[in-house]
Amino acid sequence: MGCAAHSGQGFPPGRRLAYIGGNVERRYRKLRPEVETLPWGTLRPDEAISIPLLRGTWRSATHPLVKGVLGRIVKDEAAHGQFGWVFLDWALPMLEEDEREVLREAAGRTIAAVRENQARIAARGEGEASAIHALGWMQSQSYLDLARRSMETEVLAPLRARGLEPL
């Protein structure tokens, strides 16, 4: 499913798969052809938040090799993560309200899953500083602070600006 979505190939006629952050919604109804063939796999709120988190990990890394690898990943992911918003800006005028509702619901579930993961991290508390921090491991509180700010600025604010308040 993800490969078809990213390749730009359409989904089977009469079916709609809206893929957002690992959440799949199946809608068995006829859709307008221009909506049915959109590459829905590009809409990933978890991708949008991953970019600043990867950047924070890159900044935390002290080992030169790891820092170099993470720097390359950050560069690659920055363009990849922004494509979802570019695609959404292009597709949004073609969507009807019920189709936007599917996106709101899926975004809400993805955001809830990210927040559940953050709650588990917060419950663990801070660990001892160790050699693993050279690999870019951020202290829990630093990570959580960055994750909360990033969720607001990189996911929620752009969704709201597009009239897609997550449910």
pLDDT tens, position by position, 17-53: 444 444 444 443 444 555 555 555 556 667 788 889 8
Flag whether 122 is in a domain: yes
C-alpha atoms less than 13 angstroms from C-alpha of 12 in its C-beta half-sphere: 6
pLDDT tens, position by position, 125-147: 776 665 556 666 677 788 889 99
Hey, what are 153's tokens? Answer: 């600025």
Nearest residue to 38 (alpha-carbon basis) of 105, 101, 87: 87
Flag whether 32 is in a domain: no
Q: What percent of the chain has pLDDT over 90?
A: 13
Counting the structural domains of the chain, the total is: 1
Flag whether 100 is in a domain: yes
Flag whether 31 is in a domain: no
User: Contact, 42 vs 83, CB < 8 A?
Assistant: yes
User: Contact, 18 vs 102, CB < 8 A?
Assistant: yes
Nearest residue to 155 (alpha-carbon basis) of 107, 106, 95: 107
Nearest residue to 21 (alpha-carbon basis) of 42, 37, 52, 1: 42
Hey, what are 89's tokens? Answer: 């800006």
Averaged pLDDT score across all residues of the chain: 74
Confidence grade of residue 13 (pLDDT, cut at 50, 70, 90): very low
pLDDT tens, position by position, 61-72: 888 998 899 999
Look at residue 107 in the predicted model and tell me its pLDDT.
84
Flag whether 9 is in a domain: no
Flag whether 141 is in a domain: yes
Nearest residue to 115 (alpha-carbon basis) of 166, 68, 76, 54: 166
Flag whether 104 is in a domain: yes
The range of the structural domain enclosing residue 71 comes to: 44-161
Flag whether 147 is in a domain: yes
Q: What percent of the chain has pLDDT over 70?
A: 66
Look at residue 130 in the predicted model and tell me its pLDDT.
59
Look at residue 161 in the predicted model and tell me its pLDDT.
94
According to DSSP, residue 134 is labeled G
